[in-house]
Every structure is written in C-alpha cells, then in structure tokens.
Amino acid sequence: MYKIGIDLGGTKIEGIILDNSNEEYFRYREKIDQNSDYSAMLHHLQSIYHRLVKEINNAPHSLGIGTPGSISPKKGLLRFCNIVVMNGQPLLKDLQSSLQRKLTIENDANCFILAEQQLGAAKGKASAFGIIIGTGCGGGYVVNNKLVSGANKIAGEWGHSVININGAQCYCGRKGCVEQYLGGRSLQRAYEDLSGINIGAEKIIELYREKQEHANIAIEKYLDYFGIALANLVTTIDPDVIVVGGGLSNIAEIYTDGLSRVKAQFSDDEIKPKIVKNTLGDSSGVIGAALLGV
C-alpha cells in the first residue's frame, strides 16, 4: 500500500508518495501565500491530496498530514500554529469531511524527528529530539521508536518554552518564547532593529561571515539564545541526540559556535550534548507525515 504524506509550512506545501519499501514514488510542492485565509489553506491541502491520488490512480493508500502546532485533544482545534489563521480551526474534522476519509494530523516537528529517527540522522538512537528552526520553532521527541505526545498533546513544543520572561509577545499568549528569538523572522527583526534594513536570514548570515557589524551583533545574540534554549532542553530530557531541521539548520555556525554556547551553560565538562544536522533535508517532515498516516 502506498503512503501519502503532506507537509504544510509557512511558505510552502509539499506532498509525497512512498511505496511499500518507504522509497519515494512521487513528490510535488508549491508555494503558498502567507496571507491566505483558512479556507484557502484548506483548498491547498485538498488540491495537493487529489493531485497525489491521481498519480497512483486512486490505489489503496494511507494519509498523514504534518502542520505546525497540534490538535487539542479536548476541543479538536488546531493550536500553537505559526500560520496564525489556522489556530482555533477544526482542521482534522474539516479535512475528514471534505476528503471523505480517515487521516492523521501530526505536529510537523514530530513528523520531522520520526523520519530522522527511522531513516536519517538519529537512526538507531533510543531517544532523539528534533528541533525545527524555520519561520517558527517546533520540536518533537521520539523514545524507543515512538513519538512522545504527552498528556495534553504538547510534548516537544520547545518553541513555546520561555527564555525571557519580559520578552517579546508571542502569538501563543506567552512572552519571551524561544520562537521569538530563534525563528527566522526574529533574526530579521533583530537585524532590522540595528540597521534599519529589512533583509532575509540568508543575507544576514552572509554579512556575518563578512564581519559586517550589525550582522555580527545579531548573529552573536542569536547564538547566545540558541545556547540557553538548547541547554534547557538538555537538562530537561537529556536525549541521545538533538537533530536540527528547518531553513536555519543550514547555518554552519550552529554546530560549532552554537554548540559551544550550549556547552558553556554547564559547569560539568562531562556533559557533552550531541547536536547534529538532519540528513533527510527538508524532506524529513513530509516523509514523517507519510510514515504516520492511516
């Protein structure tokens, strides 16, 4: 039986079909308008699903969808999603109704780390935590090949742990969340506050490597927050490995300077957290969604 996975992100939506051996059979992605409303997002999900089904001539298949945030077990509504128009919406119910089938919706970071633990950078590890640093910041946790969801289905929501109690307001209702300091938009804001210029994260990193003053200040602060946030994670669950994904996982300095900032948070030099880059690239999320499908 085929496995269909769909990954909804802040800037794109991607679909994949895996065969019985979990090998890629077909893949499709398209950009989405960040200003789209909920009905437009639903339409994107529906249309990409139908496109994928057409590729296998409606052969038997499972379906899993990865999104930022999580479905409330009590209310059935999406929450903690950095695509804010999706929050408070009955996404699972609406998709099951419109597609006329069962499906699984799982946090995108959970999809990411499950794929990396089964097929990628954390393969063979008993415990693995995955962090996604992209438009926002997500997290997921796998122990003994199983996702840890928690009593309230919010285990792994690392992006909404607080590292500055008087910090920036987050859409989740709290202040000073990790996402407000490590997400791609936060890096852009930090640089713009210093320079008055709004440029993308990739350009900021490029200027940092050229030792441009404002980029240097912005990235150094970014790495400091990275050290604090990851050290908190290590002291809480101490996983065998932390796998980094998302667009900002391509910042090479995370695995050198960033790792040093994490280690500097511990006085015991025997504590040596392992932080690695993903090996499945930006495919991790959509592959994980396919693996989790029903």
Model pLDDT, residue 29: 92
pLDDT score of 130 more than 80: yes
> pTM value?
0.89
Q: Work out the percent of the chain whose per-residue pLDDT is above 90.
A: 81
160 in the same domain as 101: no
216 in the same domain as 147: yes
Listed range (184-188, 193-197, 259-263) with the worst mean pLDDT: 184-188
247 in the same domain as 145: yes
Identify the CATH number of the domain in which residue 96 sits: 3.30.420.40
pLDDT score of 10 more than 80: no
187 in the same domain as 130: yes
Q: Which residues of 180-211 are buried (b: 16+ CB within 10 A; e: fewer)?
A: bbbbbebbbbbbeeebeeeeebeebbebbeee
Who has greater pLDDT, 247 or 274? 274
168 in the same domain as 153: yes
144 in the same domain as 49: no
CA atoms within 13 A on the CB side of 54: 7
143 in the same domain as 91: no
Model pLDDT, residue 283: 85
> Cα separations (Å) of 21 from 119, 143, 191, 291?
12, 23, 45, 11
Model pLDDT, residue 60: 96
Q: How confident is the model at residue 80 (pLDDT cuts 50, 70, 90)?
A: confident
pLDDT averaged over every residue in the chain: 93
251 inside domain: yes
Q: What is the pLDDT of residues 227-272, one digit of tens each?
A: 999 999 999 999 999 999 988 998 999 999 999 999 999 999 899 9
Stretch 26-49: mean pLDDT: 91
Q: How confident is the model at residue 6 (pLDDT cuts 50, 70, 90)?
A: very high
21 in the same domain as 75: yes
pLDDT score of 103 more than 80: yes
144 in the same domain as 74: no
119 inside domain: no
Stretch 152-172: mean pLDDT: 91
241 inside domain: yes
Domain that holds residue 23: 2-110+283-292
168 in the same domain as 272: yes
104 in the same domain as 220: no
Which letter does DSSP use for residue 169 in this model? B
R_g over Cα of the chain: 19
Q: Where are the beta strands (DSSP E) in the chain?
A: 2-8, 12-18, 24-31, 61-67, 70-71, 78-79, 104-107, 127-133, 137-143, 146-147, 241-245, 275-277
104 in the same domain as 64: yes
Tokens representing residue 260 in the block: 């040093």
